[in-house]
Structure formats: C-alpha cells, structure tokens
Structure 1
Amino acid sequence: MNSSYANKSIAVLGAGESGEAAARLLHQEKAMVTILDTAEENKLRKKIDALGAEGIRVIADLAAEHESLHGHYDYVILSPGIDPAVPLVQHFIKRRIEMIGELELAFEMCKCPIIGITGTNGKTTTTQLVEKMLNACGVKTVASGNIGPAFSAKVNESSHLDVMTLEVSSFQLESIRRFHCQTSVWLGFAADHLDRYRSMDEYYVAKIRIFENQTEDDWAIVNYRDKLPALKAKKITFSAYVPDGDFSLREGVIHFRGERVLAMSETNLRGSHNAENLMATLGVGFVRGLSFAQMLPPLREYKPLPHRCEILRTVNGAEWVNDSKGTNPDSVEKALHSETRPVVLIAGGKDKGFEYDLLTDLVAARCRSVVVMGEMADRIEAIWKSRLPVANAGRSLEKAVELAHAAAQPGDVVLFSPGTSSFDMFKNYADRGNQFRALVQALPS
C-alpha cells in the first residue's frame, strides 16, 4: 500500500473503535475518508455527527445496492471486528480494491519497535504488566491494540517511545503483510472464536502469523507447552505446568533457569495462569537487558483489572469471584485450577460452538455444584448433570446468583466464569461482569 494517502479516496469498513481511529489517522494524512457500516443509522447518530464535523463521512445502514459501495476508492481499510466473509468485505474483495487491516495501517506509520502480545487468554493482563514494568524501568512505552485504545489512535506517539506494546488478536493478524514485532509473546493457544473460524486449525493459522515477519535478530517469548513450528527468532520459553521452560513455577515461586525470581504470594495475582503472564512479562524485560531487581517492584504493585478472577466479597463465609472475562472453556479450566476450595460455578452464555465435555472431569472434581445460564444453559446442563448437581437459571443472571447463593456453603468459592461470550444477554463481558458485581453486592450478609 502506498505510504502517502494525501488526496486518496479511502473506505474504512467498520465504525467501531479501530475503524474510527484508522479514519482519523488517514484524515490527518489528508486522505478523503468514508466509514462504511451496516449498523442502523440511529445507533451511530452521535458518531456520524461527531466525525462529520471533523470532515469524515460515515455511512450506516448499508444495503448491497447503496451507491457508496460502488463509488471510487483507492484503498480499503478493514476493522478487525468485521469478518472478511461478510458481504460488505466480499464486495470490495471482488472489486479487487487493495485492502489492509487497521493493524497494518498503523504499523506502516509506527516510528519505534513493537512488542506484540497474543494468546487465547491472558493478553490484556500481560500487556498491562509489560507496560507498567517497562515504564517503571525507564523504557518508554504505551499499551494499545486489542486492549484499547486502537493502535491507530496511539501511533502518533511512537516517535517519542522506546517501544510500542501491543495486544494483538487473531482477527488483527488475519490481514497483516509486513507487520513485524521485535519481540513477540505467545501466551498459549486454546479453543475460541469458533463462531468466526471454521475450525481450530483456521484460528491457529491466523494467530501464528505473529511470528511471520520476525528475523534472527528478534525474540519470541513462548509458552513451552505449545508445540510451535520452527521460528526464526531467538526463543525464551515459560510454563507454570511443566518444569522444562526457561521460566518455571515450583511451589508457588517463579524460577528462571533454576534461579528463584518471584513468589506469587508477593504479588496481587493468583493462579498458575497469572504466573505464566508474569513469566512472559519477565521474559520481555530479560531480552531487553533489564535485571530482575529492576523488574520486580512494579510487578509486585500491579493489581489485576476487573472481571479477571476479581474477588468481590465474602457472603456467609463463601467468597464470590467475578471472572466474566472468561470467554472460552480454557479460561474456566484455568480459573478452576486456581481454586483449592470447593466451587459453586456459574457458567454459560452465547453458543460459540465450544464442546464442554473435556471440562467434565475437572468440574466434577472441583465443584460442589454448577449453575448454568444463557443460550448454552441447556446444552451444558445435559453434559454435566450426570456428574454433579446442576441448576438452570435460563436467561436470568439474577436467578443464577440466587441459585448460587442458595447452594454455597461457608468456605466455598462462588466462581462466575462463563466460559463463553456474553452477547446473547449483555453488551460485552464488562457489562456482564458489572451486572454480576452489582447483584453480588446487593446480597444480604
């Protein structure tokens, strides 16, 4: 794609955060920008007015015959939230207009090296840990990408940074060309997004592209348990579950090549999955030449974001934990492995095509009972009800909290880890977690 966008006519597909940021970036480059979206016009009215005042046209409620789809465009920018298979994208593919993703657009304009962090789970926590640690150690960085704000919204700051820290999703990686990470982080791979990808293999192929443009001078910080193809980059490995990585976990303490580094009890994080997030962060610092003595203080101070095994309160001796960010079965598995006490699990949500059979033995071993809810409630109930008590709350989170409250005993953990996405009942996982928190806070002591 041409590095000069001045006076070019460019269509940005999608009016979400990434599309809006890409449009503003291109407008700054003197391009003539039109955002195209299939959402109803009344839902985008504020955005249409605000961007219109800046000179960026937004066209919503698109139909196949809309004249804006058939106008002249030099380039097309694809937002990561839009599936390339949808008719809007396919229209431009058939017209053979050059198309790149928002990630690639921002990369073209980035003036500093990139740390790219991907994985099915743990991306946001690790991205925040890296940002906090590097800045505390005098390495100037900002976090952007899938974590928000979009890379395009922050790329103008890159000339003043030592490195850009990016959370990178498979959706963003699908359309890369030259996107290159000086340091890539692979946290692990598990089933997810099967409502977008036709198979696990297709999901994996998208995600593994983070290594595609690395060279022998780069670094890859990778989960030892994942069998990755040969990489050009130099490797640092980690695992909290097997002892053979460069970083390992023994009796709650992170070690690096046999050297004691950090006890989990010194941090505000819990669980082996968070030990791996810390290991990956330490690996990033190590390859940048930082000492563990420098890195540890900010990592000890870090507090996790809401909705990630967030401890809410204790009610009648039972601790309530909000893990609404748990949007796939692997996240449920990790949350359950983090608990040593009996669990009352609340699970379920949108049907993304996951199979929950593989969790059955773990759920039966760790849980006193389960409350299921959402679009998947009946399917999960059918799988697990022969092994332990299962209560069905239907489409009501309030009912799920009532049922879990009734089932919980002193010393238990009530774990809200849905194991799938929230869009059947909520705006997103944060909305789901916030509503759960409010219901738990309202419970009588």
Structure 2
Amino acid sequence: MILTGKKVVVLGAGRSGRAAATLALSKGAEVRVFDTNPSAHFDGWPEAAIGIAGATDAQGLETSCDVLVISPGIETRGSFVESFAKNAGELIGETELAARFYDGKVVGITGTNGKTTTTELVQRILEHSGMSCVSCGNYGVPFSEVLLMNEVPDSVALELSSFQLETVKDFHADVAIWLNFSADHMDRYTAIGDYFEAKKNIFINQSSNDTAVIRLGEDLGPLSATSFNFSSEGEASDFYLVENQIYFSGQPVIDLSVTRMRGLHNAENVMSAVAACYALGVSYEVAAEALRGFAPPMHRCELIRTLDGVEYLNDSKATNLHALDSALRSQSRPVVLLAGGKEKGLEYEELLARLEEKVHSAIVFGEIAQTLGSLFSKVVSTEVVAGLDEAVTLAQKRAHVGDVVLLSPGTSSFDQFAGYEARGEHFRKLVNKLK
C-alpha cells in the first residue's frame, strides 16, 4: 500500500485512531482526524495531524479522501461513517491499515469469550520459543502501534473483535483461532448473523498453507486453511482433556497442573494457544515450559480469597451469556451466583438448565435485576438487590463451607460502573473487607 501524498481521514481520536494517524503520517500521507466528541483532544499527537473535535455528518459530506480509516468503536454502518465514506476512495479499519504494512507472522484470535487469555498465552509461548511477539489489537496496543516500534516483532498475537473484523479486506492470518461463538453485542448488530459473519472474516484470505484452530462443534462451513479442533468435553477432537492433561491425537502433550489456570474454559484456551504455536513450529515441550506458573488475566474466574471455606471468584469479564455459562460449567463446587448489570437484550432462558445444575443460590443486581430475578427464580432460589455491595454481603450469608461465590454478571457493567474492570475491582475490595 502506497500512502505517499495520499489524503487519509481517520475517524476516532482514541488510542487506535492516534496509532492509525501516526502510521499513515509515517508512510507519507496527509492526515486529518475527526471525532464527534466536542471534548476530544489531540495533545501529544504528531503536529502534522489535523484534529477536528465535535465533528458532524455535515462535515463528513464535505470531506473527501483517498483512504478512510475508522476506529473499531465507531459504528461502521452509522450515519457518521456513511457521510465520510461518500467521498472516500476506500474505507478500511485500523487493523486492516496495519496489516498492509506488517510482514511478520500473525496469530489472529477471535471468539465471543476467552480472547484475551488466549492472546496472552500465545504471546508467552512464542516469546519463550525465541520468537519476538507482541499482544495487540483488541488487547494490548493497537496493531498500528506495533509498526511504529523501534524493533518490529517477528510475530503478533492479535486479538480481534467483531468490530475490527468488520472492515478487513487484505488482512491475512497465518494462524486463525476461533474460540467459540454466542450472541453478544446485539445492541450493535441487527441480526446475530451479521455478528457471526463479521467474526468469520478472521479466515479471510487464508489458504491451505495456513492454519485454522477451531473449537469442536462450531459450524463454520468449508475453510481453505488446514484445520485443528479442540474441546474439553469428550475425546472426539484433535486436542482434548483427560483430568488435568491435554492430549493431541491420543498422546499427552501438556499437563495443566504446571499452570494456575482454573476451569474447563481455560483448558480450551490453552489447547487453542498450544495448537496455534505448534503450527508455527513451537514444540509441545517448549510450550509446556512457557506455561509454567501462568495465571489468567484479572477479572476472568480470578480467585480473590478463600474465607471460612468459601472461594470468592471474580469473573467480571463475563459480559455475555456464553461467558457466564462457561464460568458455571467450570465449577466443581456448589455456586452462589452474583449476576446482573446493564440490559443488553440477551435471552437468558438458555441458562436455566445450567443454573439448576450448578447454582444453589442466585443474587441479582443492577438494571436487569428484576428481569433476571423473575427468570432465575424458576429454577433456583433467587434474591434481588440494588447493587454489588449488597450482593456481596448477602452472598456471604448464603454461602456454606465448600461453596464458591462467583461474580459472573452475564452482561455489561455500564449501568453502575465505568467498565468490567471497575466492577471487578470493586468486588475485590468488598470481598477483602469481609470478616
């Protein structure tokens, strides 16, 4: 891609937008950045980038460019993007822009849940093997920022959301990981099929020389890449789990006891990462060494403390039904479940069988509390409270020795918190104050 002398417009003044603008400038483009937020600032940006805060659709219709680059948080089909696209030669996303300038190995990771943990695992294994690697994309730094490093790494562990995958064209992953799929972000997509097709773009441009790593049972249709599948349930997949041991084609390859990973869902994250790195030439022995002592990122079934024989787990990252279901499926102890938050239009009826199997007491809170209370009470003792503080206090009273108190909200946090991290940190503080 040649940008010298080309006019590039970037939509969004966040970190991804700044990385895209800086990369385009470094390639000789004339760059303007538009953001709808009147308070958007451009402090610390390259002087050559022209920034416009409080941008409108009308300005978009008056603006022409060779390349329009949109940040992942901006609605691709919204009127703001459409107004700028009308006089743009090409519309791409920040991920696509970076991909056109990157020559190293790309391990792309997508799925409704488990992306960040798997991304960290891939980076750790590749780094341990001697291949320089950076976590980027939807986790870590923007992909474009990697191209601006003093030493561009040999490989990237590239976490990809559906928002980023909506706008790829020439993007190519040497290895593409598909972890799982379930309904999410239905406040952005008009149909679940649109969400599915966006995520499936991770396989775009792959050939038989590439690798696809896919959870067993995911219906993706025919793919061009060489495929491996994995599952923690049964032994029908290429990679499978027996007790604490991961097997490949009947041979034990990874002992999970060397890690600090908990739950079946994390076993699947390890399987996918090991399979991806093996496709790039990393032996199972090296992968096992890399995984020694590895713990999942915060807010993902994270053990906060054990008090009076009760474990308190922070799974605040569970912002959709599949994540909540995975967390429950992974528990071997009776569960006191803390769930709730923002109303996202999800169908919670599909969780009832899992609740009946795993949960002896549910405490629901937040904007969606009444809805969850009416539904969950069909199969489990359920109490409705206003917020997380009251939920934790009540959970301590309901929990017995040998139980787990699991914060796994099943929806986003924006009704009461700035994000899942803030919700998880507040839970941590509350649990650590318990006596």
Give the residue type in structure 2 aligned to 1:130: V
The structure with the largest helix share of the pair is: 1
Relative to structure 1, the CA distance from residue 169 to residue 190 in structure 2 (aligned partners, 3 Å threshold; closer, same or farther) is: same
Q: Supply the distance in 1 between the matched residues of 2:149 and 2:289 (Cα, whole angstroms).
A: 26
* Matched ranges for 1:287-306 at <5 A: 287-306=279-298
Matches of residues 321-332 of structure 1 in structure 2 within 5 Å?
321-332=313-324
2:148 matches 1:150: no
Residue in structure 2 matching 1:392, options 376, 384, 396: 384
Q: 1:54: which partner in 2? A: 47
Q: How far is 1:60 from its partner? A: 2.1
1:312 corresponding residue in structure 2: 304
Q: Give the distance between the partners of 1:194 and 1:147, measured in 2 at CA.
A: 21
Give the SS at the match of 2:23.
helix
- RMSD, aligned CA: 1.8
Look up the equivalent residue of 2:4 and give its one-letter code.
A
2:63 touches 2:87 (CA, 8 Å); kept in 1?
no
- Alpha-carbon deviation of 1:217? 0.9
Asked whether the equivalents of residues 264 and 270 of structure 1 are also in contact (C-alpha less than 8 Å), the reply is no
- Partner SS, residue 69 of structure 2: strand
Q: Specify the code of the residue in structure 2 equivalent to 1:213.
A: N
**Which TM-score applies when normalising by structure 2?**
0.95
- Counterpart-to-counterpart distance in 1, 2:109 and 2:64: 36
Equivalent-residue separation in structure 2 for 1:215 and 1:187 (angstroms) = 20
List alignment gaps of at least 5 residues for structure 1: none
Q: Percent sequence identity over matched residues?
A: 41
Task: Give 2:28's aligned residue.
Answer: 30
* 1:184-236 CA distance string (max 9 Å, x none): 11111112111111122111111111112101111111111212211111111
Mapped partners of 1:442, 1:381: distance in 2 = 27
| Residues matched between the structures, number | 435
Mark the CA change 1:344 to 1:289 in structure 2 (over 3 Å): closer, same or farther: same
Matched, 1:173 2:165: yes
Cα 1:169–1:68 change in 2 (3 A) is closer
- The structural deviation recorded for 1:6 is 2.9
Which residue of 2 is the match for residue 10 of structure 1? 8
* Alignment deviations for residues 243-275 of structure 1 (CA, whole Å, 9 cap, x no partner): 111101112321110011223223210111111
Distance (whole Å) between structure 2 residues aligned to residue 402 and residue 160 of structure 1: 49
1:227 aligns with 2:188: no
Q: Determine helix, strand or coil for the equivalent of 2:65.
A: coil
What letter matches 2:424 in structure 1?
G
CA distance in 1, matches of 2:151, 2:429: 42
Q: How many Å apart are 1:380 and its aligned residue?
A: 1.0
Greater shift after overlay, 10-19 or 302-311?
Answer: 10-19
Query: Partners in 2 of 1:4 and 1:173 — Cα distance?
Result: 22
1:274 is matched with 266
Q: Are 1:107 and 2:105 matched, yes or no?
A: no
Alignment partners' CA distance in 2, 1:63 and 1:155? 30
Aligned-partner residue type, residue 414 of structure 2: F
1:366 matched to 2:366? The reply is no
Task: Determine whether 1:126 maps to 2:131.
Answer: no
TM-score, normalisation: structure 1? 0.93
1:196 is matched with: 188
Partner-residue secondary structure (3-state), 2:43: helix
Note the C-alpha offset of 1:353.
1.4
Compute the displacement of 1:405 (Å).
2.2
Task: Name the SS for the 1:50 alignment partner.
Answer: coil
